[in-house]
Copies of this chain bind each other. A is one copy, B any other.
Amino acid sequence: VTLIKRTAHDGVRMLSLANGVTNSITPALVSELNEVLSELENDSSCTGVVLTSESEKFFSIGFDLPSLFHQSPEGFLDFYRSFNRAALCLFTLPVPTLCAIPGHATAGGCILATMCDYRYIAEGRKFIGLNEIKLGVAVPYLADSALRLICGDRIATEMFYNGEFLDPAKAKEVGLVDAVLPSEELIPKALEKVASIGSYYSKAFRAIKANRIGVVRDLYANNRTHDEDTFLDLWFDEKARKGLAEAIKKF
């Protein structure tokens, strides 16, 4: 089974999430994401990455709550570590990365988008954001730090504290996305942008991107263990379980 469709456009690799309509994030999807990102990290012919989805309805709805809810602490910790490993690998990938968002990008879906250098979203009724506070769980530290880097404290804080989703216009206004495009232009413009930056000398780009991601990478390294403890503690918290159970009904 392939949950991530891969295509090559000259040096630019497009990764398209293909896990049904919602692209919910399962252990299998994360495992495949880690595999493909590790390959790309060491593929000198890769000059850039566009992350998108086959589904036009959901880029990704986030963690697959119905199945993850029933994981044991050991199983969920494995998943959480694997998810953050994939996120970090995407964040630090030494080529330009852009998330082309055709549909909703919520919770873990928004996190994946936040790990890319750029975000383009399709026009229309799409929602993007992190509603962890509404479910009663924590925001992963790496995602929190990356979104603060991109949007600044006031905007990130308002997003995390309220848990509201943003529509494309609002997401553009606050800097969460870089462009709002007609849906037929989403992929062409995304490929064009990444190809343009990817045309520069890869070794110079790698050095320049290392400066961009260094502070957040180091903060995360120092906080990883604490983050895992905090996230798991809340995930298995009795009251949070009720919020998760409610959310599962709408899945």
Q: Which of these, B144, B178, B197, B205, contacts A211 with CB under 8 Å? A: B144
Interface string of A58-90 (1 = CB under 8 A from B): 000000000000000000000000000000000
> Residue A200 at the B interface, CB < 8 A?
yes
How far is it, in angstroms, between the C-alpha of A205 and the C-alpha of B160 when the chains are bound? 9
Q: Which of these, B139, B154, B162, B239, contacts A178 with CB under 8 Å? A: B154
A28 to chain B, nearest CB (A): 27
A246 to chain B, nearest CB (A): 12
* Interchain CB contact under 8 A, B150 and A150: no
- Contacts A141-B211, A208-B161, A230-B207 given; indicate if A201 touches B136 (C-beta within 8 A): yes
> Residue A113 at the B interface, CB < 8 A?
no
How far is it, in angstroms, between the C-alpha of A139 and the C-alpha of B205 when the chains are bound? 9
* Interchain CB contact under 8 A, B154 and A205: no
> Residue A129 at the B interface, CB < 8 A?
no
How far is it, in angstroms, between the C-alpha of A27 and the C-alpha of B154 when the chains are bound? 31
**Which residues of chain B are near A141, meaning CB under 8 Å?**
211
* Interchain CB contact under 8 A, A204 and B152: no
A8 to chain B, nearest CB (A): 21
Copies in the complex: 3
Q: Which of A10-18, A30-38, A103-111, A212-220 contacts B (4 or more CB under 8 A)?
A: A212-220
How far is it, in angstroms, between the C-alpha of A149 and the C-alpha of B240 when the chains are bound? 30
A39 to chain B, nearest CB (A): 23
Interface string of A190-234 (1 = CB under 8 A from B): 000000110011011101111110110001000100000011001
* Interchain CB contact under 8 A, B149 and A150: no
Q: Which of these, B136, B150, B157, B239, contacts A154 with CB under 8 Å? A: B150
> Residue A138 at the B interface, CB < 8 A?
yes
Known A136-B200, A153-B212; 14 more pairs at CB < 8 Å: A132-B204, A133-B205, A133-B208, A136-B204, A137-B204, A139-B208, A144-B212, A160-B208, A161-B197, A161-B209, A201-B239, A201-B240, A203-B234, A203-B239
Residues of A within 8 A of B (CB): 96, 117, 132-139, 141, 144-145, 148-150, 152-154, 156-157, 160-163, 175, 178, 196-197, 200-201, 203-205, 207-212, 214-215, 219, 223, 230-231, 234, 237, 239-240, 243
6 shortest interchain CB distances as A-B pairs: A136-B201, A138-B207, A144-B211, A136-B204, A133-B200, A149-B153
